[in-house]
A and B are shown apart, each in its own frame.
Chain A
Amino acid sequence: MKIVGHNLTTKESFYFFEIAKGLWITSRHFIYNMYFHIAHLLGKYPEVPAAVTIQYPEEKIPLSRRWRGRHRINARPDGSPRCVACMLCETVCPVQCIHIVAGEHPDPAIEKYPVSFEIDVTRCCWCGMCEEACPVDALYMDTGKNPEPGFSREDLLYRKEQLVKEMPLPGCQRSLNAPGQGPMEANPLGL
């Protein structure tokens, strides 16, 4: 083993110049950010970012089109879920957080429908495999929402009735049949 040491040069050993150099870098960033923050307040240079920090609650990072957020179930034009209770998502789910009870639909053309569809979001690992497995354009994770905290386990059990009301995040929707939306727009990140 060889220890690589760093011997201070004569200039460095005075410390004074190094302190001044550090102060200069800090002051430069401070003045730059301060200037542009004030400028933003006055409505000037909105395209120039003031700091690397994102001012989170007011400002959000544009989400990737592939970003996996809370689940939603696509609805048919009549508002019923498109899910046919094939249980492929339940099968593929590595943490077994999806529970479906299938039933006989009165319309023989639909035949099978979920009597209950529950996602136990406390168990979900956000892998997105359910979305991939879905054969009928029903289950998506494109709401762009994070799971909200709840006061009970019941609050974190997302049911069919709730999932079917969720909307995709504009621009991020992955289904061509998403409710209330036109065809997919350009990617906000330009990817």
Chain B
Amino acid sequence: MPTLTIDDQQVTVDQGTTILEAAKKLGIAIPHFCYHPRLTKVDACRMCLVEVKDAPKLVTSCSNAVRDNMVVFTGTPKVEEARKSILEFILINHPLDCPICDKAGECTLQDYYFRYSSQPSRFKDNKVEKHKVVDLGAKMVLDSERCVVCGRCVRFCREVVGEENLGIFNRGDHSEIGTYPGKKIEHNYQGNLVDVCPVGALTAKDFRFKCRSWLLCKADTICPGCSNGCNAVVHFTLRSFNGIKGQRVFRLTPRENNDVNKIWLCDVGRWGYSFVDSIDRLTTPALKKGEDFVKGDWDTALRETASGLKTVVERYGPSAVGVIPSPHLTNEDLYALKCLFSCVLKVANIDFKLPGLDKGEGDKLLLKADRHPNTRGAELLGLSGTGLSAEAMMEKVKTGEIRALYLAGSDPVKYIGEKAEEALSRAELLIFQGTNFSASCKLAHVILPGATFVEKEGTFTNYQGRLQKINKALEPLGEALADWEIFTRLGKRLGAYPSYRCAEEVFKDMAREVAPFNGLSYQKIGPQGIKIADSSQ
């Protein structure tokens, strides 16, 4: 293990560590463009030059491994001069697009210019003109003029995705990246190109021109797109008017977690947030009157639900009630649901496993076939196998043996199809609790609006059995409530039910009662999550 000195600080690192990584360990930032911790090193940008004692010239810190007793300086006048020159060199042909560039505010080149250079351009000739607004496929746009030819995107496609999509064409100041003639990028990881691009050369069509980066707030969350549970950051705005009226969530970006998603996020998850602000969000409780729905308030809707459930349980026994929760709900929601139905109402027919729940299209890298973030959590909470299966429940609804059906976020019509539609229309009492309008929602007698993953606190358990926390970024749209809160309010009307005030209280109860969660708290989960069970597969 070599020990070296960087800027008068000693550090011991593993053999083979580069100077840049060793400096990072000490908290010394060395500017770089082409280096990316998860890609091969190519020495292309020369921005990371540092001075090493007894070396004849400056060395690139991203590719040179440390040696024992090495003495490195990262801030000498020689290094500063080199950085200044490299920046001036890169900026010769860089257009002054910052006002209209989507990357402005989070652009490495912009940051480095203000930190290390801040000098006016001395370049008098015309800048080299390259292609602007190049269409790279359904999701990406390329601006060659802004590109600093670091090659990170090319290496990302080659090394992480395993496809040769992009290449660097031409030479010298005319070099630019692009796809091969007649080809477009089609893989499921294009969004990461925006993240690896240090400048605004690659921008996503989904986010393009919608909002400036500095107007966005951030909150740590978990991607709800599939059971992989990729760590993500949700970018949202709290401004009353924000460009596109009604849009609050603008993008999801990945958060580093070595055990789950490394530093990547797939496009399905990244651009799957649109349901949060979509037009079909359920915002007020509604009751069916004849053929139409009438807007109601929480009091009426809950009274209707509680009295309906009570009547069915009293008249026909708890076996006449069926509950189909959705693995889109958090552990807290599911635990509150379980408390309500199996403890208060003694209902045994709770099953989340609708047939075809895990039959999506997965890939080898991140995306899983099961497109639900909390399937493992629902399994661990025992929300399956206690009574009838979901499919059997639908049959019994059809025959009239199950009279009341509670759909907590689930959409049987989507998975079972017409048969479910027929069954649901025969139910005596159908309660739909969820975030968005769906085919099953149309048949419901009472609609209770729930909160989406950015509007509530909670935890998801991914397919590995890793418990990870989501945070509340926004207030629920309209009158919607977090699902655990709906169950709490409903529970109060149905019998002895603990009065939870926040998701953390539900979690505390769950940590006491449910074995895999024993002894856990939100503090213990931390930003990277904690493994509580084995993988389901």
A108 touches B212 (CB 8 A): no
User: In the bound complex, what is the Cα–Cα distance between A141 and B132 (angstroms)?
Assistant: 33
Check B344 for interface membership: any CB of A closer than 8 A.
Answer: no
Name A101's contact: one of B212, B214, B244 (CB within 8 Å).
Answer: B244
Hey, which chain A residues are within 8 Å of B241, CB to CB? 96, 99
User: In the bound complex, what is the Cα–Cα distance between A86 and B213 (angstroms)?
Assistant: 11
**Contacts A91-B215, A111-B132 given: A104-B209 contact, CB under 8 Å?**
yes
B133 touches A96 (CB 8 A): no
A104 touches B208 (CB 8 A): yes
A108 touches B132 (CB 8 A): yes
A100 touches B243 (CB 8 A): yes
Please give the distance in Å from B507's CB to the nearest CB on chain A: 37
Closest to A116 in B: B243
B243 touches A84 (CB 8 A): no
Please give the distance in Å from B21's CB to the nearest CB on chain A: 36
B215 touches A135 (CB 8 A): no
Check A103 for interface membership: any CB of B closer than 8 A.
Answer: yes
Contact mask for chain A residues 82-93; partner B; CB cutoff 8 A; 1 contact, 0 none? 001111100100
* Residues 94 to 148 of chain A near chain B (Cβ within 8 Å): 96, 99-104, 108-109, 111-112, 135-136
Hey, which chain B residues are within 8 Å of A112, CB to CB? 100, 209
Name B99's contact: one of A96, A99, A104, A135 (CB within 8 Å).
Answer: A135
A136 touches B99 (CB 8 A): yes
User: In the bound complex, what is the Cα–Cα distance between A102 and B133 (angstroms)?
Assistant: 15
Closest to A133 in B: B99
A108 touches B209 (CB 8 A): no
How many residues in A have their beta carbons less than 8 Å from beta carbons of B? Answer: 19
User: In the bound complex, what is the Cα–Cα distance between A109 and B100 (angstroms)?
Assistant: 11
A111 touches B99 (CB 8 A): no
User: In the bound complex, what is the Cα–Cα distance between A165 and B417 (angstroms)?
Assistant: 57
B215 touches A109 (CB 8 A): no
B209 touches A86 (CB 8 A): no
Check B239 for interface membership: any CB of A closer than 8 A.
Answer: yes
Name B210's contact: one of A99, A102, A108, A109 (CB within 8 Å).
Answer: A102
Hey, which chain B residues are within 8 Å of A84, CB to CB? 99-100
How many residues in B have their beta carbons less than 8 Å from beta carbons of A? Answer: 16
Hey, which chain A residues are within 8 Å of B214, CB to CB? 91
Name B209's contact: one of A96, A103, A136 (CB within 8 Å).
Answer: A103
User: In the bound complex, what is the Cα–Cα distance between A135 and B239 (angstroms)?
Assistant: 23
Name B243's contact: one of A96, A102, A108 (CB within 8 Å).
Answer: A102
Closest to A134 in B: B99
* Residues 415 to 433 of chain B near chain A (Cβ within 8 Å): none
B244 touches A87 (CB 8 A): no
Closest to B141 in A: A104
Please give the distance in Å from B213's CB to the nearest CB on chain A: 11
Hey, which chain B residues are within 8 Å of A135, CB to CB? 99
Contact mask for chain B residues 136-160; partner A; CB cutoff 8 A; 1 contact, 0 none? 0000000000000000000000000
Hey, which chain A residues are within 8 Å of B209, CB to CB? 85, 102-104, 112
User: In the bound complex, what is the Cα–Cα distance between A135 and B99 (angstroms)?
Assistant: 7
Hey, which chain B residues are within 8 Å of A100, CB to CB? 243
Please give the distance in Å from A81's CB to the nearest CB on chain B: 14
Q: Is the interface of B mostly helix, strand, loop or mixed?
A: loop
B244 touches A111 (CB 8 A): no
User: In the bound complex, what is the Cα–Cα distance between A136 and B97 (angstroms)?
Assistant: 11
B243 touches A111 (CB 8 A): no
Hey, which chain A residues are within 8 Å of B100, CB to CB? 84-86, 111-112
Contact mask for chain B residues 77-101; partner A; CB cutoff 8 A; 1 contact, 0 none? 0000000000000000000010110
Hey, which chain A residues are within 8 Å of B239, CB to CB? 96
User: In the bound complex, what is the Cα–Cα distance between A88 and B100 (angstroms)?
Assistant: 10
Please give the distance in Å from B34's CB to the nearest CB on chain A: 26
Hey, which chain A residues are within 8 Å of B132, CB to CB? 108-109, 111
Hey, which chain B residues are within 8 Å of A87, CB to CB? 212, 215, 243
Hey, which chain A residues are within 8 Å of B244, CB to CB? 101
B212 touches A91 (CB 8 A): yes
Contact mask for chain B residues 101-115; partner A; CB cutoff 8 A; 1 contact, 0 none? 000000000000000
Name B133's contact: one of A91, A99, A108 (CB within 8 Å).
Answer: A108
Hey, which chain B residues are within 8 Å of A111, CB to CB? 97, 100, 132-133
User: In the bound complex, what is the Cα–Cα distance between A99 and B237 (angstroms)?
Assistant: 14
Hey, which chain A residues are within 8 Å of B212, CB to CB? 86-87, 91
Hey, which chain B residues are within 8 Å of A91, CB to CB? 212, 214-215
User: In the bound complex, what is the Cα–Cα distance between A88 and B209 (angstroms)?
Assistant: 13
Hey, which chain B residues are within 8 Å of A101, CB to CB? 243-244
Hey, which chain B residues are within 8 Å of A103, CB to CB? 209
Hey, which chain B residues are within 8 Å of A88, CB to CB? 99
Which of B99, B208, B214, B215 is packed against the most chain A CB atoms within 10 Å? B99
User: In the bound complex, what is the Cα–Cα distance between A112 and B133 (angstroms)?
Assistant: 11
User: In the bound complex, what is the Cα–Cα distance between A40 and B448 (angstroms)?
Assistant: 79
Hey, which chain A residues are within 8 Å of B208, CB to CB? 104
Please give the distance in Å from B519's CB to the nearest CB on chain A: 47
Which of A84, A99, A102, A108 is packed against the most chain B CB atoms within 10 Å? A102
User: In the bound complex, what is the Cα–Cα distance between A95 and B208 (angstroms)?
Assistant: 26
User: In the bound complex, what is the Cα–Cα distance between A135 and B101 (angstroms)?
Assistant: 13
Hey, which chain A residues are within 8 Å of B133, CB to CB? 104, 108, 111
Hey, which chain B residues are within 8 Å of A85, CB to CB? 100, 209
Report, nearest first, the 4 A-B pairs whose CB atoms are least far apart.
A86-B99, A102-B209, A112-B100, A108-B133
28 A-B pairs with CB atoms under 8 Å apart are: A84-B99, A86-B99, A86-B100, A86-B212, A87-B212, A87-B215, A87-B243, A88-B99, A91-B212, A91-B214, A91-B215, A96-B240, A96-B241, A99-B241, A99-B243, A100-B243, A101-B243, A102-B210, A102-B243, A104-B133, A104-B209, A108-B132, A108-B133, A109-B132, A111-B97, A111-B133, A112-B100, A136-B99
Contacts A84-B99, A86-B100, A100-B243 known; 20 new A-B pairs at CB < 8 A: A85-B209, A86-B99, A87-B243, A88-B99, A91-B212, A91-B215, A96-B239, A96-B240, A99-B241, A101-B243, A101-B244, A102-B209, A102-B243, A104-B133, A104-B208, A108-B133, A111-B100, A111-B132, A135-B99, A136-B99
